[in-house]
Amino acid sequence: MMKRKREEKECMDIVWQTPANPPLPQDYIVRNGIRFVRPYYFEFIAHVKNRWAGKTIVDLFAEEFKGRPYEYYVSAVKCGRIQVDGEMVPVSYVVKSSQKISHFLHRHEPPVMACDVPILHKEPDVLTVCKPASVPVHPCGQYRKNTVVGILQAEHGLAPLFPVHRLDRLVSGLLIIARNATKADSFRQEIEAGLVKKQYIAKVVGEFPEDEIIVDANIDYNAREGRSTAEVRDSTKGKVASTKFTRISSNGTHSIVLCEPVTGRTHQIRVHLQSSGHPIANDMLYISEQTVDRSINGSTADRSACISDASLTSNFGEKVPKDYQENSNEDFRIDPMCTNCPNLAPKGYAIL
């Protein structure tokens, strides 16, 4: 009984954040050129899918979210950190389709390189910024505050923001962001009409052919694995995709290639370069022929790119914002139930 009362008191002292809570400068901790997010309490909300219905609440989490041990989910249900339709339930509770599930947890975001996000051009309804490598464009997966949108909101108070297009997390480059929904829709129509042209520069493995080549291969994206494949032999799979490549230079070991996507599929350039035999030089997700099934070990596609992040850290010398340096030695609250504490980064994401 005393233990239960202590748990209830502890929960009353916790301030749970939701997506409505904006990122703040003090949310970040910078150490050795790496930007961490101070761990915070957050409510994840999901609705029961048809394939989840009929499972116990604990089995659902243990099977679908393998990043934490079974015992954690048992404890989380018992103390009310996992709820159904806003109510505590027993560990044997069987979920029904469309029910609301809340998971209240101590959230640790993956670290990124501690780079500024320079604003190159600013107008009342549009921003052009330089996106640094390793930083996602917008909240996705385990990233929320450690994103371009989050950093711009914390550093410059810019909100709301509507990214017109996106760049993969490990990619750097120009990013256009609308500042209102009307402007975002205008850009969307221009992109769909083919009026916007995108160009990318990639460093690839090997000596790329001198002549311009066009890769026409459907892209099949597996959301569960976080990977795409080029369907060279089976045109019935995936979505139609086409990319034009032109070699800029080569030293025999690596080549610099101009990439011009005709379509815009997930990881299209990366996968088309891989299928051509010239993967991007530091793309750990597609450069290796060995693929780990993350549905088995509970990892994510981003985790397989951690080695790539480490190499990026030593190759980029971007300026670390002074506001964040001042906060770099502050502590954060350790949560007794958290499977990531006392580390700043979640397990599997530490940049060595």
**Cα–Cα–Cα angle for 20, 24, 26, nearest 5°?**
140
With beta carbons less than 8 A apart as the criterion, state whether 25 and 322 touch. Answer: no
Which 3-state string (H, E, C) describes the chain? Answer: CHHHHHHHHHHHHCCCECCCCCCCHHHEEEECCEEEECCEEEEEEEECCCCCCCCEHHHHHHHHCCCCCHHHHHHHHHCCCEEECCECCCCCCECCCCCEEEEEEEECCCCEECCCCCEEEEECCEEEEEECCCCCCCCECCECCCCHHHHHHHHHCCCCCEECCCCCCCCCEEEEEECCHHHHHHHHHHHHCCCCCCCEEEEEECCCCCCCEEEECEEEEECCCCEEEEECCCCCCCECCEEEEEEEEECCCEEEEEEEECCCCCCHHHHHHHHCCCCECCCCCCCCCCCCCHHHHCCCHHHHHHHHHHHHHHHCCCCCCHHHHCCCCCCCCCCCCCCCCCCCCCCCCCCC
Other beta carbons within 10 Å of 93: 18
Place of tokens 């949560």: 335
Residues forming the active site: 168
Distance separating alpha carbons of residues 260 and 201, to the nearest angstrom:
9
End-to-end CA distance of the chain: 44
Q: Judge contact between 323 and 315, C-beta under 8 A.
A: no
Nearest to 116 by CA among 154, 151, 167, 166: 151
